[in-house]
Structure 1
């Protein structure tokens, strides 16, 4: 249980509703900022304005998955108010107060460093990334079906990267009957792809490999789908880029060539916000319990 643990949840999107529900069930006391347009009420959670939060009493602050924008602004689909996370507010929290977000940025890193507060990026965790790969794969399948006039079964599909998301995408498209090849820089990943019954190849061969590709799915957060690669793609090919913004595709050149290219980071929160929220809620609850036990000892 998290009885008497004081948490501020700064909104946010639909994923945070599952976080709020989980933490109130565990008897935590929540201050909800940026949720005034949310009709649903949670027992143990109070909607407050940013300036009314008792920052000096907080044990944790939960930010939205994107954290803040580069200027510190927090976007919320449940509020029209402008919410900023200022360094002055962070410094008002106790030294043991932990901040959680999905990802970070230079602004957030700077504020946390100068305030000497701990920031935990949930998307850096293997468990969160692996769980999230499930709705990511489902969203990728949805996009492939919506934006093509051919079946996944029998299609020539290239997946770039064999990390936590790439492995799930490659395996699932293979099970759906796609002819899947995996491009990677790692010889170990090439061997793993072959072990999975896929075609593995080095990214250095990508220019030649894409000539007969129907689907090109990128998971690598670096510019790998460059103009010279796109120039060799068939005109009917679809690029789905799952890497974090700005992605790993030259979208300008893809548009110039008439190749449809879709940037689709954050698919779990789009296609399955309830599931994505439950994943984050369970991990957050476990981390908060662990931190509480550490504090007691």
Structure 2
């Protein structure tokens, strides 16, 4: 329970709705910003006024999964305005105030360092990322079925990256009967791919690899699907890029070649926002309860 704990939820998508519900269930005092169109749905919540003494009570701030842009602005689908996260009000929060975000960036890192507040990028945590990979894999399947006219079974599928999402993708597509190859950088990962009954591809030198396939899925957050790879793809091929914006694909060249390429970051928030929100809420609540216990023990 988070009785008496003050938590601000700022901006975001449908995942934040589940987080707000959970915080209310745990009896936290919840402040909202960026939910202009939904505030009537949460009558117990308080509108956050960053120019008031409310910020002096905040024990935690929960940002969207996307965090802020490179200027500290926070967007949300339930508001028509941008919210600014800056030093002018963040420094007025208590020293123990924790800032939660999905992913971070140089602006957030610099700001929280400057005001000496703890920043927790949730997507860097193994527990969140592994749980989150479940709706990501399901969403990827949905996209592929919607945008192809052939079955996954029997298709040639290449997955770039054997991280937490890549592992789930490789296992799922293999179980669906696809012929799966996985791009990896280390001999350890290559051994894992081989042990799974799949074909390893050396990502350290993709130019020498045969990249012809029906479906190409990228999870690597920098440019790897370049013109040399796209040239190898047949006209019916589909590229699904799951990396955070701007992705790891040369989308302009893909369009020039007539290859359909989809940038699809944040799939959990689109295909399963309730589940994705519950994942974040459970981890945040665990961390907050642990913080409360620590503070109690220190007193």
Answer yes or no: is the 8 Å Cα contact 2:34–2:76 preserved in 1: yes
Aligned to 2:161: 161
Displacement of 1:52 in angstroms is 4.1
Change (3 A) 1:94 1:48: closer
Instruction: Quote the Cα distance in structure 1 between the aligned partners of 2:183 and 2:67.
Output: 31
Answer yes or no: is the 8 Å Cα contact 1:27–1:44 preserved in 2: no
Report the 3-state secondary structure (helix = DSSP H, G, I; strand = E; otherwise coil) of the residue aligned with 1:200.
Answer: strand
Using structure 1 for the length normalisation, give the TM-score. 0.96
Displacement of 1:206 in angstroms is 5.7
Change (3 A) 1:206 1:281: farther
Aligned to 1:107: 107
Using structure 2 for the length normalisation, give the TM-score. 0.95
Answer yes or no: is the 8 Å Cα contact 2:207–2:228 preserved in 1: no
Aligned to 1:209: 210
Displacement of 1:278 in angstroms is 0.6
Instruction: Quote the Cα distance in structure 2 between the aligned partners of 1:22 and 1:60.
Output: 15
The answer for unaligned runs of 5 or more in structure 2 is none
Displacement of 1:17 in angstroms is 0.9
Instruction: Quote the Cα distance in structure 1 between the aligned partners of 2:135 and 2:286.
Output: 21
Aligned to 1:221: 221
Work out whether 1:80 is the aligned partner of 2:80. Answer: yes
Q: How many corresponding residue pairs?
A: 296
The answer for unaligned runs of 5 or more in structure 1 is none
Instruction: Quote the Cα distance in structure 1 between the aligned partners of 2:184 and 2:234.
Output: 21
**Equivalence map 1:96-135=2 (5 Å):** 96-135=96-135
Displacement of 1:49 in angstroms is 3.8
Aligned to 2:294: 294
Report the 3-state secondary structure (helix = DSSP H, G, I; strand = E; otherwise coil) of the residue aligned with 1:103.
Answer: coil
Report the 3-state secondary structure (helix = DSSP H, G, I; strand = E; otherwise coil) of the residue aligned with 1:158.
Answer: strand
Aligned to 1:3: 3
Instruction: Quote the Cα distance in structure 1 between the aligned partners of 2:72 and 2:106.
Output: 10
Instruction: Quote the Cα distance in structure 2 between the aligned partners of 1:56 and 1:133.
Output: 36
Aligned to 2:145: 145
Displacement of 1:221 in angstroms is 1.4
Aligned to 2:14: 14
Instruction: Quote the Cα distance in structure 2 between the aligned partners of 1:130 and 1:206.
Output: 31
Which stretches of structure 1, 4 residues or longer, exceed 4 Å deviation after superposition? none
